[in-house]
Structure 1
Amino acid sequence: MDNNSNIDSRLKEIKQSFRLQMNGVAAQSMRDKGLDYHVNWGVSLPALKAKAAEIGKDYDLALALWKDNVRECKILATLIMPPAEILPEVVDIWMEQTDNVEIAEQASLNLYQHLPFAAEKAYRWIASESELYQICGYHVLSRLFMRGQEPNERGANEFIDQALAAIQGDSVVLKKAAWSSVLRFADLGDGFRQMAQKAMKSIGVDL
């Protein structure tokens, strides 16, 4: 069996396993919240993580799963893609094909925060005009800050400027992601906390 046939048969088996776990109530609840998918079986995140653990990291299968416009396939792709193997150009394609908040958040937490070039992408994304790109960027930066990864002076200034704009914007989801990352930024140390406090004070917000 060639590799393509093998991947096709594995995809078929994975999708069959999702159908067996179908949760119509959960899927309808997501639709009601504006999460619109071509196909959505409403499978829980813990079940998807268990499936990912069973499969292990697999570059080719992750690519094939992502191409399927199915909620569960896309999330599973972010869980099994090896961060050290995905190229920046492929990440760009995945970002272009991300069209809702759930996939943006899952990709950030499961994959993008672990990329060797995570910080470079995140700073570019928070400066984007796209809300979903910005959400991804703030989620990734939150995780990097939590791991003690400090930005240089230019990066810190750029982050604060973008976060201030996001927090003063209209999107609740984006505000929440930006605010969370500001808190993580402040936890990096006294200098970062003072910088964040000063910036937040300028818009009448206590940190």
Structure 2
Amino acid sequence: MDVHETIKDIKGQFRLYMNGVISQSMREKGLDYKLNFGIELPRLKEIAARYEKNHEVAQALWKENIRECKILAGLLQPVESFYPEIADIWIEDMRYPEIAELTSMNLFQYLPYASEKAFEWMADEREYFQLCGFMLMARLLMAGKQLNERAEAEFLDQAMATLQSEATLPQKAAATALRKFAVQGRENAKKLNRMLSPLVKSDKPGVGVLVAEIKLETEYWH
């Protein structure tokens, strides 16, 4: 099948599994894709498993303003042909946290340059770049990535600054990454606990709550 035929075939599968209730609920929450079939992730993974990974198909799917196409693009994109500049172009096109999260989980974390991009994106001023940076870092830490001294200092610096920022989405993603850092071991937990203590009574919106959640993780190690 050529690219056009494959895309047509994939959209046919979407119609079979459409869930109007979920789709409607997402629309009410402000997710205004051109099309949203409301298909759950396990089902989308099943659909993706029926196709070979293919660069052209994934790129064509990503260009569609359809929720399921964007998710499948991340599942069908081969890692070896997904160059750093394409990763940036995809993030520029992101509008919803769900897509940032699933693309980080299904594709970004497996890239050979994932670590470099995580640091580059965390330091970016743009909301979705920061969001993906911290989501990707959380994934790498969960997979057991150990940061050297310099990388750790840079990560903690970025995460603590973002935690106290006004940008709600990156703020929450930074908190998640800090939690994943804390559970890597006693030293990490102790270091983080010390850094967070002054923020417990922060008057900035949401900061106190997020700090309390992270501290719960760090206290497990005490």
Normalising by the residue count of structure 1, what TM-score does the alignment of the two structures yield? Answer: 0.90
Query: What's 2:119 paired with?
Result: 123
Q: Distance in 1 between matches of 2:154 and 2:195?
A: 12
- Measured after TM superposition, the shift of residue 169 of structure 1 is 3.0
Which residues of structure 2 form unaligned runs of 5+?
201-210, 216-222
Q: Distance in 2 between matches of 1:200 and 1:129?
A: 23
1:7 aligned residue (3, 9, 34): 3
User: Are positions 1:145 and 2:158 aligned together?
Assistant: no
Task: Give the secondary-structure state (helix, strand or coil) at the position aligned to 1:150.
Answer: coil
- Measured after TM superposition, the shift of residue 15 of structure 1 is 0.8
Q: Which runs of 4+ in 1 moved over 4 A?
A: none
Distance 1:92 1:171, change over 3 A: closer
Per-residue displacement from partner, 1:114-151 (whole Å, max 9, x unpaired)?
Answer: 11111111111111222222221111111111122112
Q: Distance in 1 between matches of 2:78 and 2:194?
A: 39
- Measured after TM superposition, the shift of residue 168 of structure 1 is 2.2
Normalising by the residue count of structure 2, what TM-score does the alignment of the two structures yield? Answer: 0.84
Aligned 8 A contact 1:160 1:199 in 2: no
2:86 aligned residue (87, 90, 100): 90
Per-residue displacement from partner, 1:78-101 (whole Å, max 9, x unpaired)?
Answer: 011122331111111111111211
AA aligned to 1:35 is: L
AA aligned to 1:138 is: F
Which residues of structure 1 form unaligned runs of 5+?
none
- Measured after TM superposition, the shift of residue 171 of structure 1 is 4.5
User: Are positions 1:199 and 2:195 aligned together?
Assistant: yes
Q: Distance in 2 between matches of 1:196 and 1:54?
A: 44
Query: What's 1:54 paired with?
Result: 50
Q: Distance in 2 between matches of 1:94 and 1:123?
A: 17
Per-residue displacement from partner, 1:4-58 (whole Å, max 9, x unpaired)?
Answer: x711011111112212222222112112222221221111111111011111322
Identity of aligned residues (%): 45
Query: What's 1:133 paired with?
Result: 129
User: Are positions 1:106 and 2:102 aligned together?
Assistant: yes
Aligned 8 A contact 2:52 2:76 in 1: yes
AA aligned to 1:59 is: H
CA RMSD between the two structures: 1.7
- Measured after TM superposition, the shift of residue 166 of structure 1 is 2.4
